Amino acid sequence: NHSESSPKVLEGNDLQSLAKYMKSDSCRNICLMLGAGVSTSAGIPDFRSPGTGLYSNLARLNLPCPEAVFEMDFFRSNPVPFYTLAKEIYPSRYRPTLTHSFIKVLHSHGLLHTCFTQNIDTLERRAGVPEEKIIEAHGSFATQKCIDCKDPYDDAKIEKAILNSEIPRCERCKGLVKPNIVFFGEALPKRFYQSALSLELEGDADLLIVMGTSLTVNPFASMADRVKGCPRVLINLNEVGNFHRQDDIVLLGKCDDIVRRLCRELGWEEELDREWEAT
């Protein structure tokens, strides 16, 4: 049991102790695991929040079950629900949140090791985080291709089609064009497995921050428990996962509020606001 064997690193399990650790020389590499909760304040609904989540609002699309919107067979037979949803959550309609700017600030301080995200909204890159630091584990709206001949499709053309409620078709074979979002049953990007494994084996991270995720979708969620030997922080509206190690910190609330308090403690609040205003 790792929590028994490794020495305690943090002075306490609170925000002040976290800030103190982040300012110390022991904390050089921070890894993040993000979910839909970091984008809700941008106006993009999450999946599972009762009432406001996408899953509770998909009923009007006449689906056999909410998950069908991300199933390949269903998409082939009826792409309309997916494209209806895609129009609603299309990234260009939204602005990054304060939490996304916090990631940029971590990067500016040379502390960001890897930002693992389940989000498909590309708001991390739009906040200025370099692409090579981001692992979009479930793919994203950043690129798209034909589901039959795999020909890539133009960014501007798909955006226009989606926002005009049209179904984009491959210019070569007329197959359906789909954003490179990982559907159920599809493999996750190789980069995700490579980076997750190296994180687990090399123990590169000095700190893991998990934000705005219900930690229910595997294999992504299980990474939180496979990361060993470093403090872990959960920032979420409600308690999720297994954050019971001696160096775990659980900060419950809205991630934008908590990130602001943390930055205040770190002396980074002005920088955070400047970054966010620039988005």
Q: Do you find a cis peptide bond into 219, omega within 30 degrees of 0?
A: yes
Where does this chain touch ligand CNA (CB under 6 A) — which range of 32-40, 104-112, 162-170, 186-194?
Answer: 32-40
C-beta of 3 vs 216, nearer to ligand CNA:
216
- Tell me which residue has tokens 């687990």: 200
The kind and range of the H/E element at 13 are none
In this structure, what are the phi and psi dihedrals at residue 139, rounded to the nearest 5 degrees? 75, -170
C-beta of 170 vs 196, nearer to ligand CNA:
196
CA dist., res. 245 & res. 260, Å (int): 25
Query: Nearest approach, Cβ of 7 to ligand CNA (angstroms)?
Result: 30
Report, in angstroms and rounded to the nearest whole number, the Rg of the chain calculated over CA atoms: 19
> According to CB under 6 A, which one of 6, 53, 84, 264 is a site residue for ligand CNA?
53
In this structure, what are the phi and psi dihedrals at residue 243, rounded to the nearest 5 degrees? -100, 70
Query: Nearest approach, Cβ of 245 to ligand CNA (angstroms)?
Result: 20
HSE, CB side, 13 Å, CA atoms: give it for residue 205: 29
44 lies in the site for ligand CNA, by CB under 6 A? yes
CA dist., res. 222 & res. 170, Å (int): 36
Binding mask 180-219 toward ligand CNA (x if CB under 6 A, else -) reads: --------------------------------xxx-xx--
- 206 labeled binding residue: no
24 lies in the site for ligand CNA, by CB under 6 A? no
- 38 labeled binding residue: yes
Our answer to whether residue 2 is catalytic in this structure is: no
CA dist., res. 235 & res. 19, Å (int): 14
C-beta of 90 vs 268, nearer to ligand CNA:
90
> According to CB under 6 A, which one of 18, 22, 32, 35 is a site residue for ligand CNA?
35
Map 129-177 to HEC letters. CCHHHEEECCEEEEEEEECCCCCECCHHHHHHHHHCCCCCECCCCCCEE
Query: Nearest approach, Cβ of 12 to ligand CNA (angstroms)?
Result: 22
Q: What residue numbers does the annotated binding site cover?
A: 36-40, 46-48, 118-121, 146, 149, 170, 173, 213-214, 255
**Which residues are known to be catalytic?**
138
Contact positions vs ligand CNA (CB under 6 A): 35-37, 39-41, 44, 46-49, 53-54, 118-121, 138, 212-214, 216-217, 236-238, 240, 254-255
